């Protein structure tokens, strides 16, 4: 974190912000301010350069054509890749998650290069679309509570040897591979298919990103009653028979 406070970068809200994913930026910003942190939030549109001096970068989901445009511009710009090389924390959702991988299938049915920040490859599934509430257990190494979210994707994401599954599903489809994995991460780069927005449902993830940015093991407590009520409601919904 710089001397000027925490820099939170919301990447391409004009292209990648479906299913309320911008709420992730709002939650991270709010939970930082609740701890008395000075936060500078930067919303970077797709016609603007991505700054390399951010601490936390958030990327949301999007439809197929905006996803292709976002991938093209992020490759050409190079700012997000340079920020990752500098050790920045990056958290991505759905289309943003696929963009961080090696490649995905674009709206033209072609293989589209990603940024290669996660060792994953995404294809397009042939079966039923993955839609509905999800409940999953986050990798125990991260020490976080169960993951709750909403998935809506046709993508199938395969993990390579250097990517760890972010979570393993109890209910839902996750990466769509049939192996129970959901999302992926490697060091400070994270990807998930979970909308919700995922930070509102899982504030412990927002806190985890803040701890990584601050290089601390714990944060002062906050009033989480609203979040816990939402979590309880959505976890119950995920476990109800269809």
Give whole-number Cα distances, 195 to 15, 60, 95, 228, in Å: 16, 9, 11, 17
DSSP three-state, residue 71:
helix
State yes or no: is 102 an active-site residue. no
DSSP three-state, residue 212:
helix
State yes or no: is 195 an active-site residue. yes
Q: 94, 102, 153, 158: which is the annotated catalytic residue?
A: 94
Annotated binding residue at 164?
A: no
Q: 102, 158, 195, 208: which is the annotated catalytic residue?
A: 195
Dihedral sign of CA atoms 123, 127, 128, 131 in order: negative
Side-chain half-sphere of 121: how many Cα atoms within 13 Å? Answer: 4
The token duo for 109 is 């049915």
Catalytic residues: 94, 195
Residues of the binding site for substrate: 129
Residues annotated within the binding site are: 129
């Amino acid at each position: 974190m710089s001397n000027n406070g925490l820099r939170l970068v919301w990447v391409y809200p004009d292209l990648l912000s479906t299913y309320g994913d911008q709420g992730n930026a709002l939650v991270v910003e709010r939970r930082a301010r609740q701890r008395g942190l000075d936060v500078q939030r930067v919303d970077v549109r797709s016609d603007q350069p991505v700054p390399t001096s951010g601490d936390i970068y958030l990327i949301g989901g999007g439809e197929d054509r905006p996803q292709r445009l976002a991938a093209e511009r992020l490759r050409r710009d190079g700012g997000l890749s340079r920020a990752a090389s500098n050790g920045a924390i990056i958290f991505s959702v759905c289309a943003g998650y696929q963009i961080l991988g090696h490649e995905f299938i674009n709206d033209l049915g072609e293989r589209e290069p990603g940024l290669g920040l996660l060792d994953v490859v995404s294809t397009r599934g042939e079966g039923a679309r993955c839609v509905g509430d999800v409940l999953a257990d986050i990798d125990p190494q991260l020490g976080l509570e169960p993951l709750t979210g909403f998935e809506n994707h046709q993508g199938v994401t395969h993990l390579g040897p250097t990517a760890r599954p972010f979570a393993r599903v109890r209910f839902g489809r996750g990466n769509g591979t049939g192996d129970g994995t959901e999302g992926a991460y490697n060091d400070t780069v994270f990807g998930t298919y979970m909308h919700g927005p995922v930070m509102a449902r899982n504030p412990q993830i927002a806190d985890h990103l803040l701890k990584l940015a601050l290089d601390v093991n714990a944060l002062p407590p906050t009033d989480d009653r609203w979040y816990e009520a939402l979590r309880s409601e959505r976890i119950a919904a995920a476990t109800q028979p269809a």
